[in-house]
Homo-oligomer: A and B are copies of this chain.
Amino acid sequence: MRNLAQTCVFMLLLTACASVAPPPTTTRTIAQIMETIPASDWAPLDPEMTLYMELPAGRVIIALAPAYAPNHVANIRALAREGYFDGAAIVRVQENYVAQWSRTAESPREIRTARATLPAEFDRAITPDLPFVRLPDRDTYADEVGFSGDFPMARDPRTRRTWLTHCYGMVGAGRDVGADTGGGTELYVNIGQSPRNLDLNVTLVGRVVQGMELITVLPRGTGDLGFYLTPGERTPIRAMRVAADVPPAERTNLQTLRTDSASFAELIAARRNRRDEWYLHPAGAIGLCNAPLPVRAAPR
């Protein structure tokens, strides 16, 4: 990314940043903060931008990221709406890396209205309307990291570009060698140490906000890259639906904590320096992919 000389230039620039506000602090524990979050700091998931993936073990819920991958998100919704993923399968689970799903040779299905491939949406321009809640600590892979809405992301203030980051639970559109060979017909989710080296190499389309534990327990495939060697090892996907198309009584109504809320800022402060009695050495920092992104069932 940069050689040493460039690093030192960058450090000098940062040294001039003394007007940046210090990160917030708190004396409350995480449990205390969670107890008093005002209702206005929680936001419902948009049913039009939420996917339900129905596995034999239950429902996996994915929040889509149209601000970062508008064309892929539109295409994945179109694929879901034409039933493309109904009868697909989880075909690959690679230990400490990804789980991936798609149609299979044994159960192919034609695409009717959606697109098979799309131009890459690896990054986008920084614009004033795009939320950005910055984390205060240094990151190995990017100069600025934080959250935009429900998603972990990074930005480069020099190029004015921003991109979603490969944190645990993030969902991406698998592709072949060419940048424009993805599109959403194959999707994967990060299930181990966040593979941040994939950032800017794949179009990320959203995040699993509920049901990771239904995916992470699946047997690892014994073929190359964790692909299952036989069709019988795969996990069938009964259906994948846009939440808005599911009858209201069958929906899972979740709320996420707004990352631009005071509660979230305090939660991050409490995680950077934990006050819980058990913690003897407060970390003094928090990694992008270690930050909590609370989700709850909507109160009735």
Contacts and interface: CB of A to CB of B under 8 A. Distances in A.
Interface stretch (A43-51, A71-79, A82-90, A132-140): A132-140
| Copies of this chain per assembly | 2
B213 A140 contact: no
Contact of A11 (B5, B15, B274, B282): B15
B277 A196 contact: no
A105 B139 CA distance: 43
Contact of A216 (B22, B139, B216): B216
Contact of A220 (B8, B217, B285): B217
Nearest to A20: B4
Contact of A287 (B3, B4, B140, B279): B140
Interface residues on A, range: 35 or more
Given A14-B11, A201-B281, A217-B219, A168 B193 contact: yes
B95 A283 contact: no
Nearest to A142: B285
B200 A281 contact: yes
Contacts of A197: 271, 274, 279, 283, 286, 290
Interface string A164-194: 0001110000000101000000000000111
Contacts of A212: 95-96
Contacts of A169: 96
A22 B1 CA distance: 12
Interface in A1-35: 1-5, 7-8, 11-12, 14-15, 17-18, 20-22
A288 B139 CA distance: 11
A122 interface: yes
B199 A283 contact: yes
A192 B192 CA distance: 5
A218 interface: yes
A283 B220 contact: no
A71 B262 CA distance: 45
A249 interface: no
A277 B177 contact: yes
Given A141-B284, A177-B278, A197-B271, 8 more contacts: A1-B282, A1-B283, A2-B284, A4-B22, A8-B14, A8-B17, A96-B212, A216-B220
14 contacts: A1-B283, A139-B140, A140-B285, A140-B286, A141-B283, A141-B284, A141-B287, A167-B193, A197-B271, A197-B286, A201-B279, A201-B281, A213-B220, A216-B220
